[in-house]
Amino acid sequence: MNSLHPRQIEAFRAVMTTGSMTAAAETLAISQPAVSRLIRDLEHALRLPLFDRVGSHLAPTPEAVLLHHEIARYFIGLDRIAEAADAIRTGKAGGVRVAAITAFTIGLVNAAIERFVRDRGEVAISVHNDTSLNIEAMARLDQIDIGLISTGREDPALRQVPLPRLPAVCVVPAGHRLAERRCVRPRDLAGEKVIGMGPTSPIRLRLEALLQSEGIACERPFETSLSASVCALVSRGLGVAVVDPYTVPFLHEPGIVTRPFEPAIPTDFSIVYPAHRPPAKVVREFADLVLTMAAELGDR
């Protein structure tokens, strides 16, 4: 068999699709004699008759029909490759493996996914909830594409991008005396039941330092490591609390009121990536959306 050329296959496919040499020539933007020559060369290379002339029309031979079927499968594969490349280039395909601490999996990550897939229905996103230390370890091992963590120490195996340093907020039951305040200060917590975050929470440590510096005593009847649990207890009238600003906007706990807390207790969270490889376009775009939505929370 003589060697085949892609242009011969394209000409054959065009003739089979359009039904004539003239229409095939227009499709390929070449002359009709050029199409005829390509078909003759293909017949010679394959040693197969491909077309019979019936009156003024071409009729494909049974061999041509079988050949076209095989060629169609080939071109479908090429079309799918082209479509996949286009989807990858435009960020409409691929996957994003996300790991995040609970402060983000409760609300911000879900809201970001909802907005992100609106125009990217083919993107697969998986979300894993874990501690910051474990998420950092997963990023080092290339088990995730993006992590949302409490800002940790610098690590050459990780690349960190800080989220906006939004201040912690005070949550109080609706109808509570502090709900009438424009903002809540340490002295306003004197004698209050303050629901504490976990003992290693940076917000809790900074709040306790402020209270201690001003000699303010509070009751500590409850403690939980999750901001959502803290807010649930507040909604039941069991106390007040100072929590991160990323959880409350996405909760639907009835009966709680949010107030700014002063002096501001900044929160330090970061997006983290494996440092050994650049993130894919779809990962970068998801991370950019998370940063944008975090900034929007600060504008509320």
Domain positions in the chain are: 6-89, 95-165+268-299, 169-260
The pLDDT-based confidence of 57 (bands split at 50, 70, 90) is confident
Looking at residue 178, its pLDDT comes to: 93
* pLDDT of 256 over the 60 cut: yes
Q: Where are the beta strands (DSSP E) in the chain?
A: 51-54, 57-60, 95-100, 124-129, 146-150, 158-162, 169-173, 241-243, 256-260, 269-274
Each residue's pLDDT tens digit, 73-88: 776 655 555 555 565 5
Full-model pTM:
0.66
Q: In terms of CATH architecture, what is 6-89? A: Orthogonal Bundle (1.10)
What CATH number was assigned to the domain covering residues 95-165+268-299? 3.40.190.10
Q: At what angle do helices 281-299 and 108-116 cross, to 10 degrees?
A: 120
Range 169-260 has CATH code 3.20.10.10? no
Candidates 231, 267, 232; CA nearest to 148 is 267
Do 6-89 and 169-260 have matching folds?
no
Looking at residue 10, its pLDDT comes to: 86
Each residue's pLDDT tens digit, 201-254: 889 999 999 999 999 988 888 888 888 899 899 999 999 999 999 888 888 777
Contacts of 253 (CB under 8 A, 6+ apart): 231, 232, 234, 235
